[in-house]
């Protein structure tokens, strides 16, 4: 019987490589935007900084556009 051998390697810095789509507009929840900003997405960081200038504790469960209006990715 031939067994399949798995190679388990650690994840770099605790992150899996993201292969999806980054936020294209501010039509995402603030929580999602924060996660993308923590991941290092420059546009998300910029939008999150704009929100943080308006309020110290944004509601994570509302749309980003509720704070800074509807914007598209640069």
Collapse the DSSP code of 67 into the 3-class scheme (helix H, G, I; strand E, B; otherwise coil) and give the result: helix
Write the DSSP string, 8-64: --PPGGG-PPP-S----BS-SBHHHHHHHHHHT-HHHHHHHHHHHHH-SS--TTSBT
More confident residue, 18 or 62: 62
Domain locations in the chain? 23-68
Q: What pLDDT shows up at residue 34?
A: 95
Question: What is the rounded end-to-end Cα distance, in angstroms, of the chain?
Answer: 55
pLDDT tens digits for range 33-69: 999 999 899 999 999 999 999 999 999 999 999 999 9
Distance, in Å, from the CA atom of 9 to the CA atom of 32, rounded to the nearest integer, reads 27
């Amino acid at each position: 019987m031939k067994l399949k051998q798995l190679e388990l390697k650690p994840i770099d810095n605790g992150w899996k490589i993201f292969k999806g789509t980054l936020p294209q507009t501010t039509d995402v929840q603030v929580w999602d935007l924060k996660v993308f900003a923590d991941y290092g997405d420059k546009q998300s960081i910029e939008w999150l900084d704009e929100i943080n200038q308006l309020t110290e504790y944004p509601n994570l469960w509302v749309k980003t556009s509720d704070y800074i209006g509807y914007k598209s990715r640069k």
